[in-house]
């Protein structure tokens, strides 16, 4: 087992929240028992990974359900839907708590992508005007947000740039539950790095830089113990890696997501076309009481 770049980012941000974090007031989310879900947060975190150099964003400090994360990307961009039963059929089971009462999550996420044909427009722009600087795909559409209830998109915007033979992308996120989803090497980074890889394959480029900006990165008050455990796991693993005469870290294999080389069409990918190589996470898994 080897620490990843994401693990180092995670340790750093946990430290920053412990030192400089602010507790929110009158939070919107509640836990399943109805208690307000307070969080301790910092604003403006940023991470960047060079996929071409093997810096895949996945955390080893606890097991990450990377396959389910990629399946969720399918529900948003490949077979876009807002119907919870359809998401569940595709293997994504965590949206039930956001049912607005009609079996959907409202005019959000996949419904927005489908309504504005966002993915196909992005692909055509990359193909037809590779060095154009307007490749923005936004789930934050005011008409959709005002059309009815639903969770406002958290990871809501991607910006794409061609750089020679590489395709780069930055993910913009308004708010992030750090330990369960938005943090370094968590579900959000894994799934959007996978999206970059899929779009790069479809458009004939190599996946390059993946970066992630989170405006409000927070740890819920019921996740403090878990944050401490992840921080302790990092310190224990780092001490082991740097023990003895290993003052320069060994060049050990790092986790990397691979895609079936025979697939080139974004709409043909299935979860069976993905494999995570050299990934080993620390156990046991941690449990989190979600703020809904």
Nearest to 276 by CA among 257, 253, 291, 249: 257
23: β partners: 40
Residue 241: predicted pLDDT: 80
CA 7 – CA 55 distance, rounded (Å): 11
Whether residue 154 lies in the annotated active site = yes
Contacts of 2 (CB under 8 A, 6+ apart): 60, 241, 252, 253, 254
CATH, range 5-20+43-242:
3.30.572.10
pLDDT, residue 240, reads 83
* Mean pLDDT score across all residues of the chain: 96
Quick one: pLDDT at residue 243?
A: 65
Distance between CA atoms of residues 81 and 77, nearest Å: 9
The domain ranges of the chain are 5-20+43-242
pLDDT at 162: 98
User: Which pLDDT value is given to residue 35?
Assistant: 97
pLDDT in tens, 77-91: 999 999 999 999 999
Residues of the chain with pLDDT under 50: none
Catalytic residue (one of 154, 162, 193, 230): 154
DSSP alpha helices (H): ranges in 21-173? Answer: 66-73, 84-89, 110-116, 118-128, 142-147
Q: What is the pTM of this model?
A: 0.96
- Report how far residue 229's alpha carbon sits from residue 233's, in angstroms, rounded to the nearest whole number: 6
User: Residue 218 has which token pair?
Assistant: 């927070």
The tens digit of pLDDT for each residue in 44-60 reads 999 999 999 999 999 99
Distance in angstroms (rounded) separating the CA atoms of residues 263 and 188: 23
Counting every residue, how long is the chain? 292
- Contacts of 7 by beta carbon, 8 Å cutoff, 6+ apart: 59, 60, 61, 184, 185, 234, 237
Tokens of 141: 């559409």
Which residue from 97, 100, 77 is spatially nearest to 147, judged by alpha carbons? 100
- Half-sphere exposure of residue 194, counting CA atoms within 13 Å on the CB side? 30
- Which pLDDT tens digit goes with each residue over 141-192? 999 999 999 999 999 999 999 999 999 999 999 999 999 999 999 999 999 9
Helix (H) or strand (E) holding 156: strand 155-163
């Amino acid at each position: 087992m080897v620490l990843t770049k994401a693990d180092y980012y995670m340790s750093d941000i946990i430290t920053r929240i412990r030192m400089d974090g602010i507790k929110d007031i009158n939070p919107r989310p509640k836990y399943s028992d109805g208690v307000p879900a307070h969080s301790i947060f910092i604003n403006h975190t940023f991470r960047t990974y060079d996929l071409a150099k093997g810096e895949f964003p996945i955390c080893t400090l606890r097991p990450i359900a990377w396959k389910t994360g990629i399946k969720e990307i399918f529900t948003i961009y490949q077979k876009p839907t807002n119907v919870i039963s359809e998401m569940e059929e595709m293997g994504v089971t965590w949206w039930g708590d956001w049912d607005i009462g009609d079996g959907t999550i409202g005019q959000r996420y996949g419904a927005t992508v489908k309504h504005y044909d966002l993915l196909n427009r992005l692909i055509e722009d990359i193909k037809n005007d590779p060095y154009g600087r307007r490749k923005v795909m936004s789930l934050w559409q005011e008409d959709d947000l005002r059309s009815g209830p639903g969770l406002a998109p958290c990871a809501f915007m991607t910006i794409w740039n061609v750089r020679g033979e590489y395709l780069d992308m930055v993910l913009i996120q308004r708010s992030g539950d750090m330990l369960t989803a938005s943090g370094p090497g968590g579900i959000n980074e894994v799934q959007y790095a996978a999206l970059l890889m899929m779009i790069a394959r479809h458009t004939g480029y190599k996946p390059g830089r993946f970066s992630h900006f989170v405006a409000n990165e927070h740890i819920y008050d019921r996740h403090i113990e878990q944050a401490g455990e992840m921080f302790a796991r990092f310190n224990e693993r780092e001490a082991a890696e740097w023990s003895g005469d290993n003052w320069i870290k060994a060049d050990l294999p790092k986790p990397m997501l691979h895609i079936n080389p025979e697939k080139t069409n974004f709409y043909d990918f299935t979860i069976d076309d993905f494999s995570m190589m050299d990934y080993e996470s620390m156990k046991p898994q941690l449990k989190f009481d979600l703020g809904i």
